[in-house]
Amino acid sequence: DAGVIQSPRHEVTEMGQEVTLRCKPISGHNSLFWYRQTMMRGLELLIYFNNNVPIDDSGMPEDRFSAKMPNASFSTLKIQPSEPRDSAVYFCASGLAGGRPDTQYFGPGTRLTVL
């Protein structure tokens, strides 16, 4: 079992550039979550999908952030344009809604640095 796969693991970019983070959830899971973690704000949920449909995007900071899930095995989180305050570790998690237990499995994260 490969677990949740995220790429890249590290990303360094300059302010104003577009950044795309990628996630492959665990096969068979029907929920996918994007989180952001910083020292100041801790671990925050940005958006989550059920069956590829966005359910709650209230945590998305602003219009510069967008997330898509074109199919059950792939999701992207895009930041355009990026700003230094976007520097954080971004985690993707997947789960089986209604499963027993209804838990989330986290990927290793992408460490983003915006200069």
Partner 1 sequence: DAKTTQPTSMDCAEGRAANLPCNHSTISGNEYVYWYRQIHSQGPQYIIHGLKNNETNEMASLIITEDRKSSTLILPHATLRDTAVYYCIVRVSQGGKLIFGQGTELSVKP
Q: Cβ 22 to partner 1, closest distance in Å?
A: 15
Cβ 109 to partner 1, closest distance in Å? 6
User: How far, in whole angstroms, is CA 108 from its chain's centroid?
Assistant: 11
Q: Which is nearer to partner 1, 33 or 65 (CB)?
A: 33
Contacting positions for partner 1 (CB under 8 A): 4, 31, 33, 42-45, 48, 50, 55-56, 91, 93, 97-98, 101-109
Give the integer Cα–Cα distance in Å for 69 and 87: 23
Dig out the tokens for 70 from the structure.
């074109």
Q: Least CB distance from residue 44 to partner 1, whole Å?
A: 8
Sequence-distant (≥ 6) Cβ neighbours of residue 45 within 8 angstroms: 33, 34, 35, 56, 59
